[in-house]
Amino acid sequence: MKTYIGERTPDGCQVLVLDKSKPDGAYLLNPRYDLRNHSPDGFNFGYAGSGPSQLALALLADALDDDDRAQGIYQTYKFKVIGRLEGDRFELTEENIRQKVTELEAERGRKR
């Protein structure tokens, strides 16, 4: 299981992905500008702007391993999760992310 650790630094927000299945055990989260370029300045969190949009998209694409699914729900995930993160550091697990996405998709289905 992956763990995502985000932290504000003097150079901006970085997200380290801890993944024991990888040779080095960790890597920096790919911002996935190939899917959408909301924020050329990178990630951010704690509000509902372009940096949080980029973070939500990148987190979901990595955790779900499904770009289409990530693109379909990341804005909702931004408002419900990323925009509400407080402080200068966060930690989310792959399992937490997947569970919340399933919940959000179910809510969306009930609203139709």
Range of the domain at 86: 3-111
Tell me what pLDDT residue 40 has: 84
pLDDT category of residue 111 using cuts at 50, 70 and 90:
low
- DSSP for the chain reads --EEEEEEETTEEEEEEE-TTSTTSEEEPP--TTT--S-TT-B--SSSSHHHHHHHHHHHHHHHS-HHHHHHHHHHHHHHTGGG--SSEEEEEHHHHHHHHHHHHHHHHHH-
pLDDT in tens, 29-77: 999 999 999 998 899 999 999 999 999 999 999 999 999 999 999 999 9
- pTM score, whole prediction: 0.94
> What's the domain count of the chain?
1
Using alpha carbons, select from 7, 78, 18, 3 the residue that is nearest to residue 47.
78
pLDDT above 70 covers a percentage of the chain that reads 98
pLDDT mean across residues, the chain: 95
Tell me what pLDDT residue 22 has: 85
Using alpha carbons, select from 78, 56, 81, 60 the residue that is nearest to residue 69.
60
